[in-house]
Amino acid sequence: MTTSDQYKDSEHLLLALAEQLKLPLLHISQHIELAKMGKETRYEHIESVADMAIHLVDSYLLSRQLSSAQSALQLEPLSVSSVLQRVAERLEKIAKEYSCDIELNLSGRYAPVMGHRKSLEAAMISLGYSFIEAQQESGIRKPRLVLGAHKSRSGIVAGTYGNHKELTANMFQRAKLLHGRARQSLPVFGHSSSAGIFIADSLFATMAGGLHVSRHSKLSGLAVTLAPNTQLTLV
């Protein structure tokens, strides 16, 4: 990728982030205004949307830092189960605000994978937040977020899955091409919930092959394939 391409990519990501941040900031502003009008204030909501907004900004900064770093990313052996467990804990509050059920679906035991813990967690949280927001924007009555992992020929597939039957590999590839050029590049997700996906894609690209569309327990979602740690497997 040339410097100019990198700059454009970064600019598109920043635009998507700005779009997505409008919504949590608007929620916070309105809750304060309602409090001034004498209505009950939902501090939990203010706190959880503010936390997610901060998380998105931090994840964006991390993705920029990693993509501009000169040296290769230091990967370490990680347990996918423990990463997904932590992601579920971090998303719990915001999911509750949107009445979204979070499920951990880890079919079987996995060998450790090679990854960068901070990036993996940040990417998964951003991805999960986008799925939660997109489902509430689409008016899905029983929103559900599944954090799942399964084995594949090339490694361990870990991702976020939800009620997005229309999500296809072609659609996602097209969305990546249109990203930054179209208002709503990914039709399944509103224009205000796609930044988390592109930030996650950027973070995954620094340690694995980037995001891809995946199926898990009859659900569609976006996932990353992580290489197993062969050293530890041999032991």
Partner 1 sequence: MNILLIEPDRILGGNYQKALEQYGHSVNWQSNAQSAIHQADAERPDVVVLELQLPAHNGVEFLYEFRSYTEWQDIPVIVLSIVSEESVTGGAKLLEQLGVVRFLYKPQTKLHQLVSAVKYLEPALS
Choices 9-17, 23-31, 81-89, 114-122; region in contact with partner 1 by CB under 8 A: 23-31
Choices 5-13, 80-88, 112-120, 132-140; region in contact with partner 1 by CB under 8 A: 132-140
Show contacts with partner 1 in window 42-71 (CB under 8 A). Answer: 45
142 binds partner 1 (CB under 8 A): no
33 binds partner 1 (CB under 8 A): yes
H helix intervals, the chain: 3-36, 43-68, 80-97, 117-137, 169-178, 195-205, 230-234
- CA triplet 94, 161, 203: central angle to 5 degrees? 75
| Rounded CA separation 218/213 (Å) | 13
Longest dimension (CA), the chain: 65
191 binds partner 1 (CB under 8 A): yes
What the block records as the tokens of 109 is 């035991």
SS3 152: strand
> Among 34, 73, 169, 182, which residue sits at the site for partner 1 (rule: CB under 8 A)?
34
Choices 1-9, 82-90, 189-197, 210-218; region in contact with partner 1 by CB under 8 A: 189-197
Q: How many CB atoms lie within 10 A of CB 44?
A: 11
> Among 27, 150, 164, 212, which residue sits at the site for partner 1 (rule: CB under 8 A)?
27
CB of 51 to partner 1, least distance (A): 15
CB of 190 to partner 1, least distance (A): 6
81 binds partner 1 (CB under 8 A): no
192 binds partner 1 (CB under 8 A): yes
Pairing status of strand 212-216 against strand 101-106:
unpaired
